[in-house]
Every structure is written in C-alpha cells, then in structure tokens.
Structure 1
Amino acid sequence: MEHTLSETPAMAGHSSTGSRGSRKKNIAAVTIGNGLEFYDFTVYSFFATVIGKQFFPADGSNQLLLAFATYGIGFFMRPLGSILLGQYADRVGRKAAMILTLWLMAIGSLIFVLTPSYAQIGIAAPLMIVFARLLQGFAIGGEVGASTTYLMEKARSHERGYFTSWQFFSQGLSVLLGAMVGLSVNYGLSEEQVAGWGWRIPFVIGLLVIPVGSYMRRHLQESDQVKRDVSHRLSWGQHKQALVAGILIAIGGTSGSYVILHYLSNFAVAQLHLPLSVGIWTGCAAGAVQVALAVASGRACDRWGRKRMILWSRLAMLVLIYPAFILLQHSPTLPVLVVVASTLAALLVCNTVPSLVMLAEIFPAEVRATGLSVTYALASIVFGGFAQFFCTLLISLTGNPSAPAFYLIACGLISLLGLVLVKEPTQR
C-alpha cells in the first residue's frame, strides 16, 4: 500500500512525450473535447430556472429544486461510467475511451434539443430529460479519468502539474463559453422567446462542435503506459488507502466547483432577485479566472508541491466563504458579484489543479484511469452533483441565505483529511 501512495513504477522515469508539436496537439485535442463535454453541464446549470418551468409540473421553488435534482441525478451514473469506461481506457486505450465519451455526451445533448415541454407531451418530457442527464453522467464518469490520465502520461515528471492543468483550463473555458452564449441568448431574445425555445440554442451550438473534438481525438497517439492485461483490476483490498484519500481530496474540489462556478448565478436570481443576465455574469467572471490561472497553478504545484497548495488554498476558502455570502446579501450588485465570484474562483483553481494531479499520481498505471475516474465520480455524486440542490434546500430549511457557505465549509474540512493519507508526489 505504501508503494501505491509514494512511488509507482510508472512514475519512475519520463513518459514518452514526443515532439513539441505533438505535445501541443495532445493538449489541444484533450482540452477541446473535455471542454465540450463540460459545456453542456454548464449550460444546463445557467438555464436551470427556465428548464424547471418547461419540464416540471410544480410551482415556485419546487420547480427549481426539481431542475437541480435532475442536474444531480446524472451523477448517480458516474460511478458506473467510471468503472466501465475507466477499465475500457486502461485496457483498450485512453484515446478510444475519450472518443466514446464524447459521442455519448452528444446523444444526451441531442435529447435536450429535441424534447418537447411538459405542456406538450406530459410526463414523457421530464423522463426524457432525466434519461439524457443519466447518459451524460455515465459519459463524464469515464471522461475525467481517461483524459486526465492521458495528459499526465504524456508529460515529463517535472511537468505533470502543467500538463494536467489543461484539464481544468478546459472546464473553465467551458464555463466561460457557456456563460457568454447564455448572455447572448438573454440579451438577443425576449424573455418569452428564451423560455419558449431560446434556452435550447446553447445545446445546439455544443452539438455543432462535437465532430471537431472527435476528429482531433482520433488523430492522437495512444499513451505508451496503457496496460492491456486483464489481470490488473482496481480493487478495494489492494488500493483501499488510495481510494479513500482520493475521494476525500476530491470532495473539496467538486463541491467548490459546482457552487462557485454554477450555483452562484442561480443564487443571484433566486435569492438576490437579480435578472438572469446578471447572474450569468458571475459565470463569466469565474470562468475567465479559471482559464487565466489554471496553467499557472499547474506550474506552481510542479514547483512548490501538491500538498502545500491544496492545504493553503483550502484554508483560505474556509476563512472567506461565509463573509463572501454576507457581502452578496448586503450589496447585491453586479460589481460585487463579479469580485466575489472571481476571488473564490482563484482560490478554487489553486486547490483543484493540484488535487486533480494528485488523484492521478496515487494510482499505478495499470489502474490509473479507473482509479481516478472512480474517486472523482464517488466524490462528485453527492458533494458535487447535488451541491446546488443542497444549497437551495439549506436556505429553505434555515431561512438563512448564507447557508451554502456552511456546506462548503463542511466539505472543505472533510477534504483536508485526505492529505494526511498521501505523501507528496511531486518529482517522484
């Protein structure tokens, strides 16, 4: 067990990295494909209030709760996707798994585009939306492990943080692009048009770009660390400490990502009573900060170490998160929203990038894609996918608009326990 968490054989030397041009191609293909997949999650989050009214026969906050519950239900498929698609990536190849997950996401997006509203086809409408979210959850369950593992295995030992940071860069880019498309829809159409059909436009745009990502991934060179040996399987007995540590570490990042990058825009609409367009600006700000700082954060954790960055950024988040929600209530304006979202997003990047690198480093190559996928999926199934639902529910139960801060504080404290179980993997 100590061997798994300190020096895995696959980490002993430098991975095959290829020419500088091929390295850039690897990063671009994985970044574009991964960003496209997370783009749909972002768009759904921004238009959750509209989707709730279109597909769920309820009133007021119940519609929003049902929309968030549907958003979260897809996360229940992530563990299954992480196991099946993770094993597929470990045995058949990272490249094949990344192409498969991309097209599975495309099918889910097509369902969002074509499904009529509840008023038109009744109960079949929400059932179709739930099926689409389950399919997308299954795809994301395998995508994170396959793409992150591929990036890390194409890096030299002293730049694994830099390469892996492009994964989080792509997620930030998807948030930024999703927010910009959402703003364009809101400013370009009337409120009735947005509610009627305009909210579908961002999903159509995502579909149009899917073939580009698929083409780029088909021309990738497979990782030379793929172990096509069915005798190697991820097991609780052999990899228990790595699994526990990975899940605990991932809880802090997933909860923070879905609250800061996605929930704040809905918080601005539902609790601060601001227009949807103003709420989406928080996504623009957070996404822009994530894009700007992701790669720098990757280089920093290569230089200073994963554990140090995770610890100090997490402690800073614990100190600032409650005052941030208080500030939003006292000054519910666009400039304050942007400043709060940007500050929290900066801390999130400094925490999530080294966390993602560490999740890949604590597993040996033969089960790396599966191990990373499973830990990420199990952490996000509750603490990420249902973060917005829990935040809305906590406010409803307590009557305190700052209750989401308590959720992030609890998740942050839990995540620090995982650092105790791992050794610093930088430069190993």
Structure 2
Amino acid sequence: MHSTIPTPGPSARQDAAQPAALSHAPRRVVAAAVAGNALEFYDFLSYAFFAVYIGKTFFPVHSSYMSLLLSLAVFGFGFFARPVGGVVFGLMGDRVGRRASLILTLALMTLGTLGVALTPSYASIGLAAPAIVVLARLVQGFALGGEIGPSSAFLIEAAPADRRGLYASWQFASQGAGILVAGLMGLLFGRLLGHEAMLAWGWRAAFLLGLLVVPLALYLRSSMPETLHAAAAKPERRPRRAPLRYVVIAVGVILGGTVSAYVGSYMTTYAIATLGMPPNAAMAATVALGLFTLVFAVVGGWMCDRFGRKPTMLWPRVVSALATVPAFMLLDASPGALTLVLVTSVLAAINALTGAATLVAVPEVFERRHRALGLGVAYAIGVSIFGGTTQFIVTWLIHATGNPIAPAWYATAASVVAVAAMLIMPETRDEAA
C-alpha cells in the first residue's frame, strides 16, 4: 500500500515532526482514541435501539405511537447539548490538549448512561422519571458533542503522513463497533428474555454491560501521547483558510451522512413499528448496520489515502442519493428479515465509505490550532439539527402521510445537499497535517 500512495514534500516534513512516542505504538494510539469513542456511541445509540421499551417505561401514554414518539423526542434532546459540547471541548482540545478533553468526555458519558439505566420507571416516581432521563440525555449529548473534534484531530496528528485517512477512519469505524455491540446485545437479550423481562430490566442491563469497558478505556486514554503541540517546532505549511466559512461548508457535508446514519439506526424501530416484524428479526438490522459500518469505514479510510478525500466523499454520497428510495421500495414490497438485512447492509456500506472520508477531510481543512474546535462545532451543529430530529421526523412523516417510504425521501434530500457542499470542499490529502 505504501508504494502506491504519493508522499509529497509537506507531508514528509510533517511526518518528520511527529514525536517518537507516536511511531512506536500505533495500535495503542488508535485504540486509545477509538475505545472510548465506541463506548460512547454504544451508550448514546442504544437508546434509539431500545426506544420502544424506554418509551413504555417512562412515557406510558395510551397510544403506542405517542409513547414511541415521546421516547424519540427525548432521544433528540440529547442532541441539543452537542453544539455546546463541541465548543467547550473543542476549545479545550485546541488549548489544553486532546488527551484531557477525551478523558473528560468519557467520564461524563459514563455519568449520563448511569442516569438513563438506573432511573426508576414512571410508575415508581412519576414525572421525576422522564425529567431525570432528559437530564441524563443532555449530559450524554454534551459529552458526545465534545468527543468527535479532539479524537479526530488526535488520530490525524498521530498518523504517519501516508496513513492519515486510514487512522482517522477508525473514528467512524468505532461508531460502527458501538452499533454492532449494541445490536448483538439486543439480539442476545431478545432471545434469552421475553417481552416482559426486556421491558422490566433487559434494556437497562444492556446499558450497564457497556460500562464494563470504562476502566480499560480510561486507562488507554490516560496513557495516550499528546499531539496538540507535536509539530510546534516547525511552521505549518498549508493554505490559510477562514475557519467560519469552512464550518458552514462542513455542516452541509456532514448533514447527508448524519441523516443517512440515523435513518439506518432507526431501521430496527422501523421494522417493528412500521413493518410489523418481530423484535428479534428487526434487531438483525442493527447488527448489519454496525458490521458494515465498521468494515467499510476502514475501506473508506484506505481509499482516502489511495484516491483522495474528495472523490471518496463525493461518489458514494451520489450513489446514496440515487439508491435509498429504491432500497426502501424493495423493503416495503418484501418486508422480510432477509430484505431488511440486505437493505440495511448496502446503505450502511455506502454511508460508511463517504462518512469515513468526511471525518478525514473536514478536520484536515482546518489548521491545527482550530482543528478540534472547527470539526467539533461543525459536527455537533450538523448532527444536532439533523441527527437529533431525524428519527422524530421520519416517525411523524410515516404517520402523517401513511407512506412507509417517507424516511428514504428525507435521506435523499439530505444527500443532495451534502453533494453540493462536497463540491466546494478542497482536496487535502497532500497537505501537511
């Protein structure tokens, strides 16, 4: 792979500025960043996968549709704090360091997850139950909003010059890992437990089991090297760009992948609530989503280094815009487990290719001194506005229109906007990190 990837002068100079500690432990460096990130996405997104049970626990209204809608609205509340987290931890990452930011986000995510998992039901403590869950979701959102910027900046700065795409792709791949584990937990619990046990305590156990890896993740992050000032001795040889302009462009780039990703994470709920499939069969969609996101994100990172950031971002997003509606039409015409897994897998693979490239290209477009803040704010705004509302909007669209294809049209519109923004983005592969 090394012989086919061009390594121009600026990248070579940047590579020379890498601290020795980073070159001796590349696997440990990647693990430090992605272990905590995978855990945080597992905790945050598990809420979506168990939304049906959480809705009945904390929002026991007469209509199952309203119970689910209220549960998904609280899922969206977690996104409100993400821009704040992006700013706070982005500034912290760019001034204090990447490592300190990542340790604190992990600690806060653990606290928020405990709040969701251990809160008594509405039947036990009344209105205090949904109030505590909303607060816990805000803490989770604040933490996750601050995770992306510093961790992506760290991976890019820790990587060898010709592998920045591959290293940074593990940011997106770790999200797939978190989804995969959440899906496997859902399948396991669904097979071992009945509906009543899942409603009573099964979904809570899935959250708590994820926290078992917190000590390892904290250990890895506390021992990771600091990359913020790794190349301070050498001036940056890269184009000077206006941070605000590229934050706006980055939001447009990110929203396409965000809507597609959260439509993907909605597939389990969609299969149960709209297609009428049994929960065990529906949970297979989550496993497929996680597996194909994990694998194809790494493929996307390799393609970034081989072919460039921009084509790897752009062409899969074009395919996504063209393929999502036909895929949902197929699923609606043949709503079986096999079709569900096939559709979810194909759409997840396409989104992972472009999503991994996005999480390489967007941080690279910013100078090092603005990198964690620039990506953190752009990602948090894009995800808060579009990710936090996606599942609520598509649930409402299906109910209001009676059209089960509605989520696909919404995802397609977002992809079109993202393609337009990607055309403006510069190519950054051959620039110094």
CA apart distance, 1:21: 4.3
SS state of the match for residue 384, structure 1? Answer: helix
- Relative to the length of structure 2, the TM-score reads 0.92
Deviations 1:68-93 (A, max 9, x none): 11111111101111111111111111
* Structure 1 pair 78–227 and aligned structure 2 pair: CA distance change class (3 A): farther
User: Aligned partners of 1:101, 1:205: CA distance in 2, in Å?
Assistant: 19
Structure 2 counterpart of 1:92: 96
- Say yes or no: does 1:178 pair with 2:182: yes
AA at the equivalent of 1:387: T
Deviations 1:300-338 (A, max 9, x none): 111111111222101111111111111111111111111
- Say yes or no: does 1:29 pair with 2:69: no
User: Aligned partners of 2:423, 2:278: CA distance in 1, in Å?
Assistant: 44
CA apart distance, 1:156: 2.6
Structure 2 counterpart of 1:136: 140
SS state of the match for residue 388, structure 2? Answer: coil
Q: Does the aligned pair in 2 maintain the 1:90–1:227 contact within 8 Å?
A: no
- Say yes or no: does 1:251 pair with 2:252: no
SS state of the match for residue 183, structure 2? Answer: helix
Structure 1 counterpart of 2:238: none
User: Aligned partners of 2:283, 2:149: CA distance in 1, in Å?
Assistant: 29
Deviations 1:359-408 (A, max 9, x none): 10111111110110000000001211111111101111111010001110
Deviations 1:236-276 (A, max 9, x none): x942221111111011111111111x101111001110111
Structure 2 counterpart of 1:395: 398
User: Aligned partners of 2:242, 2:334: CA distance in 1, in Å?
Assistant: 52
Paired residues for 1:147-296 under 5 Å: 147-225=151-229, 238-260=242-264, 262-296=265-299
User: Aligned partners of 1:189, 1:383: CA distance in 2, in Å?
Assistant: 34
Structure 1 counterpart of 2:44: 41
Select which of 301, 304, 311 maps to 2:307: 304
AA at the equivalent of 2:18: S
User: Aligned partners of 1:204, 1:98: CA distance in 2, in Å?
Assistant: 21
Select which of 15, 18, 26 maps to 1:16: 18
User: Aligned partners of 1:333, 1:115: CA distance in 2, in Å?
Assistant: 35
SS state of the match for residue 25, structure 2? Answer: helix
User: Aligned partners of 1:377, 1:308: CA distance in 2, in Å?
Assistant: 24
AA at the equivalent of 2:155: L
Q: Does the aligned pair in 2 maintain the 1:97–1:146 contact within 8 Å?
A: yes
SS state of the match for residue 274, structure 1? Answer: coil
User: Aligned partners of 2:226, 2:208: CA distance in 1, in Å?
Assistant: 30
CA apart distance, 1:113: 2.0
User: Aligned partners of 1:296, 1:413: CA distance in 2, in Å?
Assistant: 23
* Structure 1 pair 130–159 and aligned structure 2 pair: CA distance change class (3 A): same
Q: Which runs of 5+ in 1 are unaligned?
A: 1-6, 229-236
Q: Does the aligned pair in 1 maintain the 2:310–2:422 contact within 8 Å?
A: yes
AA at the equivalent of 1:134: L
Select which of 32, 53, 56 maps to 1:53: 56
* Structure 1 pair 358–61 and aligned structure 2 pair: CA distance change class (3 A): same
SS state of the match for residue 89, structure 1? Answer: helix
CA apart distance, 1:42: 2.3
Q: Does the aligned pair in 2 maintain the 1:91–1:226 contact within 8 Å?
A: no
Q: Which moved more, 1:47-56 or 1:219-228?
A: 219-228
- Say yes or no: does 1:145 pair with 2:149: yes
User: Aligned partners of 1:132, 1:281: CA distance in 2, in Å?
Assistant: 28
Q: Does the aligned pair in 1 maintain the 2:299–2:353 contact within 8 Å?
A: no
User: Aligned partners of 2:422, 2:12: CA distance in 1, in Å?
Assistant: 20
- Relative to the length of structure 1, the TM-score reads 0.93
Select which of 67, 84, 90 maps to 1:80: 84
Q: Does the aligned pair in 2 maintain the 1:302–1:427 contact within 8 Å?
A: no
Structure 1 stretches of 4+ moved >4 Å? 9-12
- Say yes or no: does 1:344 pair with 2:317: no
SS state of the match for residue 313, structure 1? Answer: helix
Q: Does the aligned pair in 2 maintain the 1:40–1:109 contact within 8 Å?
A: yes
User: Aligned partners of 1:17, 1:390: CA distance in 2, in Å?
Assistant: 47
SS state of the match for residue 428, structure 2? Answer: coil
SS state of the match for residue 226, structure 2? Answer: coil
Q: Which runs of 5+ in 2 are unaligned?
A: 1-7, 233-240
Q: Does the aligned pair in 2 maintain the 1:75–1:385 contact within 8 Å?
A: yes
* Structure 1 pair 53–23 and aligned structure 2 pair: CA distance change class (3 A): same
Deviations 1:202-252 (A, max 9, x none): 111112211110011101111143799xxxxxxxx9422211111110111
User: Aligned partners of 1:347, 1:422: CA distance in 2, in Å?
Assistant: 20
Paired residues for 1:342-421 under 5 Å: 342-421=345-424
AA at the equivalent of 1:367: H
User: Aligned partners of 2:417, 2:159: CA distance in 1, in Å?
Assistant: 30
AA at the equivalent of 2:37: N
- Say yes or no: does 1:111 pair with 2:115: yes
- Say yes or no: does 1:328 pair with 2:331: yes
CA apart distance, 1:201: 0.7
Q: Does the aligned pair in 2 maintain the 1:56–1:118 contact within 8 Å?
A: yes
* Structure 1 pair 305–397 and aligned structure 2 pair: CA distance change class (3 A): same
User: Aligned partners of 2:176, 2:19: CA distance in 1, in Å?
Assistant: 25
Q: Does the aligned pair in 2 maintain the 1:88–1:97 contact within 8 Å?
A: yes
SS state of the match for residue 290, structure 1? Answer: helix
Deviations 1:49-71 (A, max 9, x none): 01001101322211111111111
SS state of the match for residue 14, structure 2? Answer: coil
Q: Which moved more, 1:52-61 or 1:174-183?
A: 52-61
User: Aligned partners of 2:167, 2:251: CA distance in 1, in Å?
Assistant: 22
* Structure 1 pair 224–89 and aligned structure 2 pair: CA distance change class (3 A): closer
